[in-house]
Amino acid sequence: METLYESNIQSKRNNWHQYQSTFDCYLGNKGSMAKEPNTKNNDTPSKYNKIKEERAKIILSREKAVRKINKGIYLVQSQTGSGFYKVQWNGKNWVCDCPDFVKNGHAGPCKHIIALKLRFVGFVNIEGQETKVEKKTYSQNWHLYNSAQTQEFELFDKLLYHLVEPIQGPEHNGPGRPSLKTSDQIFCCVMKVYSMLSSRRARWLYHEAVQRQQIENAPHFNVVSTSLNKKEITPILHQLVRMSAQPLSSIENDFAMDSSGFRCSSFGNYCEEKHGTKRMRKWLKVHICTGVKTNVVSDVIITDEHAADSPQFPILLKNTAGHFQINEVSADPAYSSRKNHDIVDELGGKPFILFKKNATGRSDGSAIWKRSYHYFQLHKEDFLEHYHKRSNAETTFSAIKTKFSETLKSRNHTAQVNEMLCKIIAYNITVLIREFIEMGADTELFSIVRLTKEILMSNSDSI
Ligand SMILES: [Zn+2]
């Protein structure tokens, strides 16, 4: 009997063109459907290994990517998911239980084995004696990383305060108690989402903020839920996402597009029970453009779960180009269209969007499409090395979900969208803090706050 895995592979085989199977081999996806790398060409294995080494570095950039479970047995984190693969010493070689190694292991180590070897100095020569192995920190300065983690909480509200400071309104006319300033409402919403506390428990954050003179009054605990329900704050939150990415504009030029679902907690079931309807959304689809160096989110679009990916691409990229110089843009075949290629070209960038199986090199009015298609056909490995930067979009989503959960607490659609935007603003602020500290230019808290404030103030007229 065919297993589910095999039938998946079979249906993929039917769906994908021959050359795309070859890519998947280079990309390390689903090893079983992939062809072996061309070992006849001397260039290929080294390029192939180079790509795997890049991936191994991505794996190692996470804190607990490698865990020892026994002598000669390690768990190495999957690059794309949160799962682990078992890498062990069989007396002769290191073997891994990932699909890539199972299929292509005879041609060389997989990215998990490479990651393991990179983590330890002299690993190869002292097999079986890992007790003598020295731990090597790789591509991550742990001192600075830890420093960023511990200072994050201290810096977060200060940066958030400067981010929301330029927001105006609302006007207060006539009698009655003036309503909470929009900037204060948004400050409290983002603080609540960042803290992941319940409405009632988040109140102490607001009182703290009053004492620090970041907001005027601590709102009643349900005011934040009311604010999240306001449609009029949605465009402001969108703008805050873009502004919170902007301080990194001097170091980000390459971008990746992707989308992912966020679960709308209980409301689907609640609504079904109460009103006997299944019409409510169960997921929001979040489309992002993310920088590949820092994983900052430069722009975001939130749609319902069935919306297509491709039409979001031009909007995300144009908004990104408002604050960033665009160099490379990578995206998977869901975004492959002549229009999207044209947009990248118009904005001065180079598209690395993987072509669909039935794509042809016909320009149909798009010169860049034709150029890119031929480049892709003639220099596949090079193309794929650039295309591979796309995996950073997955890293971004995984970081947001790990840090702020993939479930939205709010009950109605507007509040869910606003809550999601607050998550991204909070995430971007944590990226800013990490980057400023890791850049090591100046780790004084005050300097970081001042620097961010200056950058933000220079471009805040439009809120
Ligand atoms: Zn592996």
Which is more confidently placed, 108 or 315?
315
Q: For residue 104, report the distance from its CA to the centre of ligand 1, in Å.
A: 10
In the reported structure, the alpha carbon of residue 109 is separated from the centroid of ligand 1 by a whole-number distance in angstroms of: 7
Q: Kindly give the distance from the C-alpha atom of residue 19 to the centroid of ligand 1, in angstroms, as a whole number.
A: 23
pLDDT value for 236 = 92
Cα 378 to ligand 1 centroid, rounded to whole Å? 29
Better-scored residue on pLDDT, 454 or 153: 153
> Taking residues 433-458, what's their average pLDDT?
64
The CA 335 to ligand 1 mean position distance, Å, reads 29
pLDDT tens for residues 25-84?
Answer: 333 333 333 333 333 344 455 666 778 888 888 888 777 788 877 777 888 888 877 778
Q: Mean pLDDT over residues 239-268, rounded?
A: 86
Note the pLDDT tens digit of each residue in 276-302. 555 555 889 999 999 998 999 999 999
Is residue 353 within 8 A of residue 340, CB to CB? The reply is yes
Question: Read out DSSP for 223-260?
Answer: HHHHHHT-TTHHHHHHHHHHHHHGGGTTT---EEEEEE
Q: How many angstroms separate the alpha carbon of residue 84 from the centre of ligand 1?
A: 9
How many A from CA of 101 to the centre of ligand 1?
5
Q: How far is the CA of 269 from the centre of ligand 1 (A)?
A: 39
Mean pLDDT score, 91-111: 85
pLDDT band at 162 (very low <50, low <70, confident <90, very high): confident
pLDDT higher for 251 or 320?
320
Q: Which residues of 150-166 are buried (b: 16+ CB within 10 A; e: fewer)?
A: ebbeebbbbbbbbbbeb
Report how far ligand 1's centroid is from the alpha carbon of 354 (Å).
Answer: 24
> How many angstroms is it from 338 CA to the middle of ligand 1?
36
In the reported structure, the alpha carbon of residue 78 is separated from the centroid of ligand 1 by a whole-number distance in angstroms of: 8
DSSP class per residue in 61-88: TSTTSEEEEETTEEEEE-SSSS-EEEEE
Residues 6+ apart with CB under 8 A from 452: 159, 162, 163, 247, 432, 436
Whole-number Å distance, alpha carbon 91 to ligand 1 midpoint, is 17
The mean pLDDT of the chain is 78
pLDDT beyond 70 at 133: no
From ligand 1's centre to the CA of 169, what distance in Å?
55
6: left (phi over 0), alpha (psi -120 to 50) or beta: alpha
Tell me which residue of 437, 393, 409 sits closest to 159, measured CA to CA: 437
Per cent of the chain over pLDDT 90 is 34
What pLDDT, in 10s, does the model give residues 193-228?
999 988 888 888 899 899 989 998 888 888 889 999
Ligand 1 centre from 8 Cα, in Å?
Answer: 20
What is the pTM for the complete model shown?
Answer: 0.67
Query: Which spans in 67-213 are helix H?
Result: 99-104, 111-119, 142-164, 182-195, 203-211
What per-residue confidence (pLDDT) applies to 31?
35
